[in-house]
Amino acid sequence: MSYEHIRQAAFEANMQLPELGLVLFTFGNVSAVDRNQGVFAIKPSGVPYNELSVEKMVVVDFDGKVVDGTLRPSSDTKTHAVLYKHWPNIGGISHTHSTYATAWAQAQRAIPIYGTTHADHSTLDIPCAPPMSGKMIKGDYEYETGFQIINWFKKKELSYEESEMILVSNHAPFTWGNSAHKAVYNSAVLETIAKMATLTEQVNPKAERLKKALIDKHFERKHGPGSYYGQ
């Protein structure tokens, strides 16, 4: 049993957060999963990015229990664990408090699909899970945050493989993907989408969503069977 590969992946992905301007101090965490071993590596709690190392990544199972590592894992670890346990095809998760995406979470609004930058990554509004109940909060809070995300996807009939981003009301965004690197990529894309949507509504308070035909076209050219984006 070796965890080096997920520690390496989690370390590199975490280090992208400050490079991409997505975090202040320690406000974020990324994890990378090994499905065969049923564990993931995640940032240790409260450690500044410039003090991180591959070895400091903490290895945790899908119940949030530490399997390997000397530091305490991110306080958001149980949220990651729940998502890995219930969504079998994701390889990495990223959580930031990036400014614009967090503002939409605090505003408790889904982000409308106003343009092709958005449509290139999702054919739907970016969902915003509603505030958690007092009972959920007082209970196993981070664990329940994971369920709040999963339940909102169920209620909205969303696919976690097609929509890789969510806002949690009053909190901040979570994103995921087939790797930790892709999860962080989605964090950066979401922040850009959130900023563009904010400015779009400022420039035109009556701005309208994309036509369905355009949504489908942009998504398909990146993701469809006849996709022609990338190499």
Q: Are 78 and 34 in contact (CB under 8 A)?
A: no
Q: Compute the least distance from the CB of residue 176 to its own copies, in Å.
A: 17
Q: Does 18 engage in binding with its own copies (CB under 8 A)?
A: no
Q: Which one is catalytic: 68, 120, 125, 216?
A: 120
Number of residues that bind its own copies (CB under 8 A): 60
Name which position in 38, 155, 178, 207 contacts its own copies (CB under 8 A). 207
Instruction: State the CB neighbour count (10 A cutoff) for residue 191.
Output: 21
Q: Compute the least distance from the CB of residue 27 to its own copies, in Å.
A: 7
Q: Are 80 and 93 in contact (CB under 8 A)?
A: yes
Name which position in 1, 88, 157, 211 contacts its own copies (CB under 8 A). 211
Q: Does 50 engage in binding with its own copies (CB under 8 A)?
A: no
Q: Identify whether 120 is a catalytic site residue.
A: yes
Report the residue number, 25 or 162, with the smaller CB distance to its own copies: 25
Spatial strand order of the sheet with 173-177 comes to 66-68, 58-61, 39-42, 28-34, 92-96, 173-177, 165-168, 128-129
Name which position in 61, 160, 196, 223 contacts its own copies (CB under 8 A). 196
| Burial 120-147, CB ≥16 within 10 A → b, else e | bbbbbbbbbbeebeeeeeeeeebbbbbb
The torsion defined by the Cα of 1, 95, 164 and 201, in degrees rounded to 10, comes to -170
Q: Give the x/- contact pattern for its own copies in 96-125, rule: CB under 8 A.
A: -x-xx-xxxxxxxx----xxxx--------
Q: Determine the 3-state secondary structure of 73 from DSSP.
A: strand
Instruction: State the CB neighbour count (10 A cutoff) for residue 164.
Output: 25
CA distance 184 to 156: 24
Report the residue number, 19 or 35, with the smaller CB distance to its own copies: 19
Report the residue number, 225 or 230, with the smaller CB distance to its own copies: 230
CA distance 98 to 187: 8
Which stretches of the chain bind its own copies, using CB under 8 A?
24-25, 27, 44-47, 71-72, 75, 97, 99-100, 102-109, 114-117, 131-132, 134, 137-138, 141, 170-172, 185, 188-189, 192, 195-204, 207-208, 210-211, 213-214, 217, 221, 228-231
The catalytic site residues sit at: 120, 229
